[in-house]
Chains A and B, each alone.
Chain A
């Protein structure tokens, strides 16, 4: 009985109804539910991927991964990420800077456009590219005449991936840019700094953690994108298959071990990404806590 008393006090006299959510039994049940859900739907499949991938032994796993088509898929996936992430980095920074620090016509339109890839199915994004640049598309004949291939080629895959990953960095930076306001930049200007210098020395450092976070998420998605890439890739083995496409292809060819080997690469990538993300969050939190600790002693000195 005595254990329920503090809970009643916590709920500020709202009665036992809402307070019940805080009782130890319910709390344990909710936590258990969340952990159980995560275990069944997140951890188990991931573990299964690794088990299946290594099902025929480590040497078979290595052979599968050294297959030329697999090698090509890995190279293509890395190439796509290496091109996509910097493009979105520049765009995300520019867009977030414009939206967060300035007011202009069409600002809300730009914000909506940045969100578009989140609300549109990636397959549709791929199809739009085919309609534009494909052989039967609007620009197809012109591209053909100039011997430029976009669809079923690296440019198309990159364009599809860029489209899908546009929001990741911009979305991460916009609130940060908005929150920091213009004062620091203005202070730099009054001290004689040029606009460019202000951007590099004041604006960019103030959002660097958010930027890194956005880059990590953007990279993960760029390597893992399936839908949009599938439409524009053409699935040419050894040429336009990325790792996610390779997984699907091997699976349909009843090469389960191969499919899971490729999948294990993507899964490991995800784990590395999550690791980076956790490290980053830990560093930010530590920095903040250190600041909190130092502030009171600072105040004491002010009083002395």
Chain B
């Protein structure tokens, strides 16, 4: 079932938490609400659920305006950040709670609970109390409980925030698998861009109560709408530069800026992957020292220091690193393959420019 927000705002005691947000989540989609903490994502989720009333704007679920519909009647499944399992009920009773409220018969209830226990791999834990479960198990019980009454939409608030890295990865895979099986419209809040990229069909990026950009992971990465998005989705080198004679300069770095008047100040950015590097100090245009090389698994994060002290971050695969014969504190040279200009007012930047 689709979710649609139209110019939704929310104020808490005169402080705007959400400002004029509009977006649409299509039927069966899996969408991430991504942004730094305190950006209003959770408030948006709570307004869709009906736990919070918008100060202005309309919310539609399945095309029906739900502003005046109580939480109980919205038929949504909500998974809370800290699970909010009923501490005095067993796993079984937690999952069956919504079904009992909706007056499902005993037999149907038992069938549905068994189905969910199976689906979420919770068999054997029926009679445990929440405090007897691990974090990952609690999270799956919370999801099972939310899914039991067959909600039209599933809302998850930081669903993987409170578990350790390994379980987090497992749960992500769970969510994707679950979604492809059940195909329930799902919206989840996260501050982890990697998580959003991995799990979601589309990402909605939020900062300070405003919607910055909405699009598929690839699109927000390759075509960020502004500097905030560019820096939040992945890493970016950003420099302040000044134009002189059609060239924008930031320290030793020079970028073509044809048609720009002298004295114009530009913010420029480039991804660490756009840095091409060589162990031969004369191979490329810019000389530098490789200060640090951090091993991150498949890729290496490199910190280059230019003679003026300007620091540039680069990323290459560890195979490349070995092939190129790079070493820490050794002189190198590099060039920048492509960069992007951010306008001062954070409006949509120009398309990426390739440097030949």
CB pair A187–B131 under 8 Å, yes or no, is no
Q: How large is the interface on A (under 10, 10 to 19, 20 to 34, 35 or more residues)?
A: 20 to 34
Partner-binding segment picked from A60-68, A126-134, A202-210, A224-232: A202-210
B86 touches A184 (CB 8 A): yes
Question: Complex formed: what's the CA distance from A201 to B94 in Å?
Answer: 11
A192-B82 in contact given A291-B131, A295-B133 (Cβ < 8 Å): no
Question: Across the A-B interface, how many residue pairs have beta carbons closer than 8 Å?
Answer: 88
**Nearest Cβ distance between residue B151 and chain A, in whole angstroms?**
9
A145 within 8 A of B: no
Chain B, Cβ-Cβ closest to A296: B134
Q: Which single member of B51, B128, B131 contacts A189 (CB below 8 Å)? A: B51
Query: CA of A190 to CA of B97 in the docked complex: distance in angstroms?
Result: 11
Cβ of A268 within 8 Å of any chain B Cβ, yes or no, is no
A270 at interface by CB-CB < 8 Å: no
| Distance of A144 Cα from B33 Cα, bound (Å) | 70
CB distance B134 to A184 under 8 Å? no
Check if A191 sits within 8 Å of B145, measured CB to CB: yes
A192 touches B132 (CB 8 A): no
Which stretch (B55-63, B69-77, B226-234) binds chain A? B69-77
In the docked arrangement, what's the CA distance between A206 and B125, Å? 21
* Of A190, A194, A205, A206, the contact of B77 (CB 8 Å cutoff): A190
A290 to B74, CA, bound (A): 38
Closest Cβ neighbor of A183 among chain B residues = B84
User: A192 and B51 in contact (CB under 8 A), knowing A208-B88, A302-B136?
Assistant: no
Overall SS of chain B's interface: loop
Contacts of A295 in B (CB 8 A): 131-134
Does residue B49 face the partner (Cβ distance < 8 Å to A)?
A: yes
- Is there contact, CB below 8 Å, between B134 and A298? yes
Task: Give complex CA distance A180, B83 in Å.
Answer: 12
CB of B72 within 8 A of CB of A184, answer no
The 8 Å CB contact of B132, one of A189, A298, A302, is A298
In the complex where A301-B124, A302-B134, A302-B167 touch, is A191 in contact with B87 (Cβ < 8 A)?
no
Residues 106-149 of chain B, each 1 if its beta carbon lies under 8 Å from chain A, else 0 = 00000000000000000011001101111011000000011001
Asked if B87 and A298 sit within 8 Å, CB to CB, the answer is no
Q: Is the CB of B101 within 8 A of A298?
A: no
Residues in A whose Cβ lies below 8 Å from that of B76:
190
Residues of A within 8 A of B136 (CB): 302
Q: Is B286 an interface residue (CB 8 A)?
A: no
Which of B51, B85, B145, B149 sits near A186, CB closer than 8 Å?
B51
Nearest-neighbour CB distance to chain A for B121, whole angstroms, equals: 9
Cross-chain contact A192 with B129 (CB below 8 angstroms): no
Q: How many residues of B contact A (CB 8 A)?
A: 37
Contacts of B129 in A (CB 8 A): 291
**Binary contact readout A281-304 vs B (1 if CB under 8 angstroms, 0 otherwise):** 000000000110011001101100
Task: Check A188 for interface membership: any CB of B closer than 8 A.
Answer: yes
Within 8 Å of chain A (Cβ to Cβ): is B98? yes
**B84 in contact with A184 (CB, 8 Å):** yes
Asked if A186 contacts B84 (CB within 8 A), the reply is: yes
B140 to chain A, nearest CB (A): 9
CB distance from A27 to the nearest CB of B (A): 34
- With A183-B80, A189-B71 known to touch, is A298 a contact of B98 (CB < 8 Å)? no
Question: Which residues from chain A contact B134 at a C-beta distance below 8 Å?
Answer: 295, 298-299, 301-302
Q: Report if B78 contacts A (CB, 8 A).
A: yes
On chain B, the residues within 8 Å of A189 by CB distance are 51, 71-72
Question: When A186-B80, A295-B131, A298-B137 are in contact, do A191 and B101 touch as well, CB less than 8 Å?
Answer: yes
A197 within 8 A of B: yes
Which B residues are within 8 Å of any A CB, using their own CB? 49-51, 71-78, 80, 82, 84-89, 97-98, 101-102, 124-125, 128-129, 131-134, 136-137, 145-146, 149, 167
Point out residues on A near B: beta carbons under 8 Å.
180, 183-184, 186-194, 197, 201-202, 205-206, 208, 290-291, 294-295, 298-299, 301-302
The 27 listed contacts between A and B (C-beta, < 8 Å) are A184-B84, A184-B87, A186-B51, A186-B80, A186-B84, A187-B78, A187-B80, A187-B84, A187-B85, A188-B86, A190-B49, A190-B74, A190-B76, A191-B97, A192-B149, A193-B72, A202-B88, A205-B88, A205-B89, A208-B88, A291-B129, A294-B128, A295-B134, A298-B137, A301-B125, A302-B134, A302-B137
